[in-house]
Amino acid sequence: MKVLLIGGGGREHAIGWKVAESPLLSALYVQAGNPGLNQIGEPVEVNGEAPGATQSFCEANGVDLVIVGPEAPLAAGLADALDAAGIPCFGPTAAAARLETSKAFAKEICAATGAPTAAHGQFAGADAAKAFLRGQAPPYVVKADGLAAGKGVVIAETLAEADAAIDDMIGGRFGDAGASVVIEEFMEGEEASFFAICDGTRIAPLIAAQDHKRAFDGDKGPNTGGMGAYSPAPPFTDVVREETIEKILKPTLAEMARRGAPFKGVLYAGLMIDAGAPRLVEFNVRFGDPECQTLMRRMESDLLPLLYGAATGSLPEGDVKWRAEHCACVVLAAEGYPGGYDKGARINGVADANALEDVVVFHAGTKSDGGVLRANGGRVLNVTALGNTLEQAVRRAYEGVDAIDWPTGYCRTDIAARALKRGQGRRSA
């Protein structure tokens, strides 16, 4: 099978690393630029946000499957163009991607299916939004309706802060994405990300991971794309898993099909779990980054038939198999991220980290400069490790971090600390 993988971050390196193991793979084309991807596939100049050109590349090269990592090409209609051309695409159409690209649409689907989620109101004008806020209790949750690169959510302790967030969003800070705002009830609990591969009518449930969204230790500092992850996620019990599948994922898939926008690809349910019950925080229509890195390390089954089955409406029967080990992922980011940061600093020691037992380093924002590895983005490297216990996985991941020499990089030092503290890091027999 000839595969084209769209996207150039750590998530895509992890997907490519896993796909490269498949005996079904005959060629892997990857987006040029990421040195990790360039080592496992043939680098090509493609841009997923230009669907016509990507389609032409696939036709010229006999590509059998396109795997789309990030959301932007999906929102730009890449899956629509490939579907129309008869090229199997792992990723939803723009209409189905609205589960992520419009928070108001996701809420509408929850209302139609009865999926558990926060109560909310949606407003196109600042005055109506502010009036609604006055009927709510703090903390106040204010969200831009559209895609805002993970920065469109403000949790405000005071009305003044919440009002300012509304003015900011409706005032155009996120362009059209903020043209309307969603105000939500604040949900207490612990978060987990759960993933299921979908073929339009059926799902193959995967496993859950926990992300660390804030930049600094102790969940301090600004929100980021994710500073680390681990899997399994302790609050995601078997009961929570069953409820998430039966009350959220399956009804959503049925409702999307009923509306003529069947969902294929990976559906990511961001959950808030309280007292053993999950409620939906948000849907995404792609793998989480860095959660995906932990899933790919733990997956035992061949990923390729799953992705191809999802793309062609023929998901294979049978459960997806997983390694029993825990996985931890520590993100190394450039000083200043998620604000401004410098690019170009030299990074040494990635090969030393990779040589450690059960450690794999995925590349996110790096580039190769005549054989020298340099930082080239905000989130730069993802150090993953497996372990028989969560504690061991975390220790190995930080040994990997210690092997890497990059003075202007930083990472959180408390990945999985909450789970380790509650003593649930130990794998049950």
Binding interface with ligand AMP (CB under 6 A): 118, 141, 153, 155, 184-187, 191, 213, 270, 281-282
**Measured torsion, CA atoms of residues 61, 66, 69, 72, in degrees rounded to the nearest 10:** 90
Residue 71 CB, nearest approach to ligand GLY (Å): 9
Are 58 and 29 in contact by the 8 Å Cβ rule? The answer is: no
For residues 30 and 140, give the distance between their C-alpha atoms in angstroms, rounded to a whole number: 42
Q: In the complex, what is the shortest distance from the CB of residue 372 to ligand AMP, in angstroms, rounded to a whole number?
A: 36
In terms of CB distance, is 183 or 327 closer to ligand AMP? 183
- The secondary element (H helix, E strand) that includes residue 421 is helix 417-421
* Dihedral sign computed on CA atoms, order 73, 303, 253, 151: negative
Among positions 28-67, residues that touch ligand GLY (CB under 6 A) are none
Distance, in Å, from the CA atom of 256 to the CA atom of 280, rounded to the nearest integer, reads 17
Q: What are phi and psi of 158, to 5 degrees?
A: -120, 160
Q: Which does 273 bind (CB under 5 to 8 A by kind): ligand AMP, ligand GLY, none?
A: none
Nearer to ligand GLY, 36 or 226 (CB): 226
Q: Which does 289 bind (CB under 5 to 8 A by kind): ligand GLY, ligand AMP, none?
A: ligand GLY
Residue 216 CB neighbour total at 10 angstroms: 15
10 Å CB burial of residue 60 (0-12, 13-18, 19+) is exposed
Structure tokens at 96: 């189905």
Distance in Å, CB of 225 to ligand GLY, minimum: 6
The residue sitting closest to ligand GLY, measured at its beta carbon, is 226
CB 189 to ligand AMP: min, Å: 8
Q: At what angle do helices 10-19 and 303-311 cross, to 10 degrees?
A: 110
Q: 191 Cβ partners below 8 Å, 6+ apart?
A: 210, 211, 270, 271, 272, 273, 281
In this structure, what token pair is assigned to residue 370? 């005549």
From residue 216 to residue 255, the character string flagging contacts with ligand GLY as x (rule: CB under 6 A) and all else as - is ---------xx-----------------------------
Bridge partner residues of 122 (DSSP): 182
Q: Which of 291, 359, 375, 393 binds ligand GLY (CB under 6 A)?
A: 291
- Stretch binding ligand GLY (CB under 6 A), from 165-173, 199-207, 282-290, 314-322: 282-290
State the binding partner of 360 from ligand AMP, ligand GLY, none, CB within 5 to 8 A by kind: none
Neighbours of 184 (CB within 10 A): 21
Q: Report the residue from 284, 293, 376, 382 that binds ligand GLY according to the rule CB under 6 A.
A: 284
Given a contact cutoff of 8 angstroms between Cβ atoms, the answer to whether 217 and 330 are in contact is no
Stretch in the footprint of ligand GLY (CB under 6 A) among 56-64, 159-167, 284-292, 334-342: 284-292
Q: How far is 131 from 212, CA to CA, in rounded Å?
A: 33
Task: Decide: is 288 part of the binding site for ligand GLY (CB under 6 A).
Answer: yes
CB 295 → ligand AMP: shortest distance, Å? 18
From the list 20-28, 259-267, 281-289, 374-382, the region that binds ligand GLY by CB under 6 A is 281-289
Q: Is 211 in the site for ligand GLY (CB under 6 A)?
A: yes
Q: Which of 80, 100, 199, 289 binds ligand GLY (CB under 6 A)?
A: 289
Residues in 112-151 that interact with ligand GLY by CB under 6 A: 150
- Give the nearest distance from C-beta 104 to ligand AMP in angstroms: 12
Which of ligand GLY, ligand AMP, none does residue 281 bind (CB under 5 to 8 Å by kind)? Answer: ligand AMP
The CA dihedral of 50, 52, 57, 59, to the nearest 10 degrees, is 150
Which residues make up the interface to ligand GLY (CB under 6 A)? 150, 211, 225-226, 284, 288-289, 291
